[in-house]
């Protein structure tokens, strides 16, 4: 409604409207003015202004028309004015609501467009990792032993002296404790027993037999700790797989046959094994297993003609310690040493992995250099 057109501010009498047909055309005029504006493009704030202009309670056009046209209307016009005003009000309210909905819809469309996820944008590339070589070798060894009836158990890395030494027949002041020069934990005063990082996986022999009656066939993969100075072949943390088989009639032949089976599975059927006498307090007899050098075919001579760099010309490579379980150990776990027998072995995984995959520095396993790790996907 143009500002010059302030008809709702005046009464019908002022406007010279006295007949119903004049009332009708006056309302038609107002409606046309409303409609002209209603088709404009609105944003929310302008829509509100427009709404208040028409529907505002005090000064909105419809209130003004009510006050200035309807209320003071001559009795013979009141009906017509009332009817026309109702029509106009219904029309105005419907239109204003219609525009409100369309503004809302537009805004929704806008925000959808704004927030649309563009699936064609390049994503963040997260490289897929792989198992560490040590983990892979654990897995290889586990698969071989599981296939011949062993199960896999794991144990604590923090041990008591009892499990790490005493129950394995290594009493206090026994010289082999020196070999394992050990990490002890600093404990609060009054702690019941000293604790240390296990120096081998052998404590799990004891823990397993304490829990379980024979027959026992387990392997124990895990981390072990010794106070070694780091160099190409030493690390203060390394990995072992312990093995233990105890049953009513396990013989030395079962023992060597099992080890030979494992070594051939791991290095290939072409290798030979041999054992030499050795010493461990918890096995008797104790042996050290060797494998014929898988790299020079047990000749000591490299394909190029020189000395084999892997076995340094010895033709054999020392693999790991093992033996028949010392009957003294059964005493610690309430097994009857007259009724059972068995064997145990302790494989150093890092050394085995280095041998098999031609790695010349044990430190590479702990440095997390992806250029190294990626070579073993
Ligand atoms: N625990 C021994 C070590 O770490 C290895 C071993 C295990 C030897 C089982 C014999 C039997 O040196």
Residue 297's pLDDT is 87
**Ligand 1 close to Cβ of residue 346 (< 6 A):** yes
- Whether pTM exceeds 0.75: no
Q: Tens of pLDDT along 115-135?
A: 888 888 888 888 888 899 999
Around Cβ 345, how many Cβ atoms within 10 Å?
Answer: 24
Residue 5's pLDDT is 66
**Ligand 1 close to Cβ of residue 219 (< 6 A):** no
At 240, is the secondary structure helix, strand, or coil?
strand
Residue 143's pLDDT is 97
**Ligand 1 close to Cβ of residue 27 (< 6 A):** no
Nearest CA-CA partner of 325 in 283, 281, 286, 288: 283
- Residue whose CA is at the smallest distance from ligand 1 atom 2: 346
Site of tokens 């084999």:
308
Q: Tens of pLDDT along 214-226?
A: 999 999 999 999 9
Q: What kind of fold does domain 133-373 have according to CATH? A: BirA Bifunctional Protein; domain 2 (3.30.930)
Helix axis angle for 133-146 and 349-357, nearest 10°, is: 100
Q: Tens of pLDDT along 47-63?
A: 999 999 999 998 899 99
pLDDT at 181 exceeding the cut of 80? no
pLDDT at 23 exceeding the cut of 90? yes
Q: Tens of pLDDT along 248-269?
A: 999 999 999 999 999 999 999 9
- Give me ligand 1 centre to Cα 358, in Å: 24
pLDDT at 168 exceeding the cut of 50? yes
Instruction: Give the integer Cα–Cα distance in Å for 357 and 373.
Output: 12
Q: Which tokens hold the place of 322?
A: 């093992």
Domain with CATH 3.30.930.10 in the chain: 133-373
């Amino acid at each position: 409604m143009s500002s010059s057109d302030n008809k709702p501010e005046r009464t019908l009498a002022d406007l010279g409207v006295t007949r119903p047909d004049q009332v009708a055309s006056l309302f038609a005029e107002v409606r046309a003015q409303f409609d002209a504006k209603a088709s404009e493009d609105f944003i929310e704030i302008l829509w509100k202004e427009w709404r208040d202009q028409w529907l505002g309670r005090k000064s909105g056009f419809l209130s003004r028309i009510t006050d200035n046209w309807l209320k003071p209307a001559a009795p013979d016009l009141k009906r017509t004015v009332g009817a026309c005003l109702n029509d106009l009000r219904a029309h105005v309210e419907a239109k204003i609501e219609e525009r409100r909905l369309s503004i809302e819809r537009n805004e929704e469309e806008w925000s959808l467009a704004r927030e649309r996820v563009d699936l064609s944008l390049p994503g963040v590339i997260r490289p897929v990792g792989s198992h560490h070589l040590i983990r892979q070798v654990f897995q290889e060894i586990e698969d071989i032993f599981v296939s011949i009836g062993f199960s896999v158990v794991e144990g604590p890395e923090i041990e008591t002296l009892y499990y790490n030494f005493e129950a394995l027949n290594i009493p206090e002041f026994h010289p082999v404790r020196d070999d394992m020069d050990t990490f002890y934990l600093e404990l609060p005063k009054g702690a019941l027993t000293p604790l240390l990082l296990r120096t081998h996986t052998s404590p799990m022999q004891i823990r397993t037999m304490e829990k379980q009656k024979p027959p026992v066939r387990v392997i124990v993969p895990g981390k072990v700790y010794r106070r070694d100075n780091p160099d190409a072949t030493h690390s203060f943390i390394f990995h072992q797989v312990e093995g233990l088989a105890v049953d009513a009639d396990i013989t030395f032949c079962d023992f060597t046959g099992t080890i030979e089976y494992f070594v051939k599975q791991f290095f290939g059927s072409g290798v030979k094994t041999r054992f030499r006498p050795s010493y461990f307090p918890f096995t008797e007899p104790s042996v050290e297993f060797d494998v014929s050098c898988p790299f020079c075919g047990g000749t000591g001579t490299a394909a190029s003609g020189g000395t084999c760099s892997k076995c340094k010309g010895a033709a054999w490579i020392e693999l790991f310690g093992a033996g028949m379980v010392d009957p003294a150990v059964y005493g610690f776990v309430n097994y009857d040493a007259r009724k059972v027998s068995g064997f145990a072995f302790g494989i150093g995984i890092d050394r085995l992995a280095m041998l098999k995959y031609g790695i010349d520095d044990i430190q590479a396993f702990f440095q997390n250099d992806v250029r190294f790790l990626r070579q073993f996907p």
